[in-house]
């Protein structure tokens, strides 16, 4: 491997990357354009040492894969008492300040964790104006409400902030008997493909379509190129069935 040009001080590059990695940025768009360009260059420049390229990839992968910070215990307790009229004003102010900044992980995991009994993450997402309501989010919430008999037909399926706040304050009791299968449920193989698709789309968004090899991403996840190609084009059978259920859960416009 050729040495990098003499005008590049590797010690300074390494120091800057270590500083960037320490920021813990979890949204690629939060990096300034100049920093994005620097990270892309460090990650792909073959004349850089492996440790420098690995540091750059750490900063790039962090926004793609890092999960949300855990919700503090105090906020968990307050979220479960959101509708309590006796909540002290200072406690409500602290909670409102927290949820105003909370973006969470994503709707898929928040709904999954709520089904498992950990409801505070979904309540925080519902209440936070910083958490964007996506089409997938609407489908997941409509499916979540449909699987709880006492909640069916009680909410606007477009999920504006008023409806989100009402759902956040409701009691989510588990129905008796065998629960319906949620639309996010996946087999191990589907989960493997989902992770590969997530990585492929995120890296293409950062580096551009032409510079990210579909075949290489597939190999990293133990998949064939054709399997990932079919999933990307929506031609995988189980993906099509789940897409049909998502479409059924979406409101008509």
* Digit-coded pLDDT (tens) for 49-68: 888 888 888 777 665 444 44
**Listed ranges 33-42, 90-99, 190-199; the one with the highest mean pLDDT:** 33-42
The rounded distance, in Å, linking the Cα atoms of 117 and 209 is 40
Question: pLDDT above 90 covers what percent of the chain?
Answer: 0
How many other CB atoms are there within 10 angstroms of residue 62's CB atom?
Answer: 17
Buried b (16+ CB within 10 A) or exposed e, 6-35: eeeeeeebbebbeebeeeebbebeebeeee
pLDDT, residue 2, reads 58
**Phi, psi at residue 225, to the nearest 5°?**
-60, -40
In the chain, what are the domain boundaries?
Answer: 10-65, 73-169, 188-249
Q: Which two tokens stand for residue 147?
A: 């699987």
Q: Mean pLDDT over residues 196-219, rounded?
A: 82
* Digit-coded pLDDT (tens) for 10-21: 889 899 988 888
Higher pLDDT, 249 or 214: 214
The rounded distance, in Å, linking the Cα atoms of 241 and 245 is 6
pLDDT, residue 220, reads 80
The rounded distance, in Å, linking the Cα atoms of 55 and 60 is 9
Given pLDDT bands bounded at 50, 70 and 90, which one contains residue 208?
confident
pLDDT, residue 66, reads 42
* Digit-coded pLDDT (tens) for 110-167: 888 888 888 888 888 888 887 778 777 888 898 888 888 778 777 767 788 888 888 8
């Amino acid at each position: 491997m050729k040495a990098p040009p003499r005008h590049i001080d590797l010690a300074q590059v390494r120091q800057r990357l270590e500083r960037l990695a320490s920021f813990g940025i979890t949204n690629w768009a939060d990096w300034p354009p100049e920093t994005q360009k620097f990270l892309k260059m460090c990650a792909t420049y073959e004349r850089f040492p492996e440790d420098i390229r690995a540091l750059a990839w750490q900063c790039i992968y962090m926004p793609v894969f890092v999960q949300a910070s855990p919700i503090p215990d105090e906020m968990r307790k307050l979220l479960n008492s959101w509708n309590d009229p006796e909540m002290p004003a200072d406690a409500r102010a602290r909670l409102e300040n927290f949820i105003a900044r909370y973006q969470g992980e994503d709707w898929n995991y928040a709904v999954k964790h709520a089904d498992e009994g950990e409801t505070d993450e979904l309540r925080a997402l519902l209440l936070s104006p910083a958490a964007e309501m996506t089409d997938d989010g609407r489908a997941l919430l409509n499916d979540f409400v449909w699987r709880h008999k006492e909640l069916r037909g009680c909410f606007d399926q477009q999920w504006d902030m008023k409806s989100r706040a009402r759902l956040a304050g409701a009691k989510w009791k588990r129905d008796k008997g065998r629960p319906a299968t949620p639309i996010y449920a996946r087999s191990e193989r589907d989960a493997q493909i989902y992770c590969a698709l997530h990585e492929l789309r995120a890296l293409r968004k950062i580096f551009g379509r032409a510079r990210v090899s579909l075949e290489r991403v597939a190999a990293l996840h133990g998949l064939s190129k054709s399997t990932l190609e079919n999933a990307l084009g929506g031609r995988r059978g189980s993906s099509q069935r789940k897409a049909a259920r998502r479409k059924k859960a979406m409101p008509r416009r």
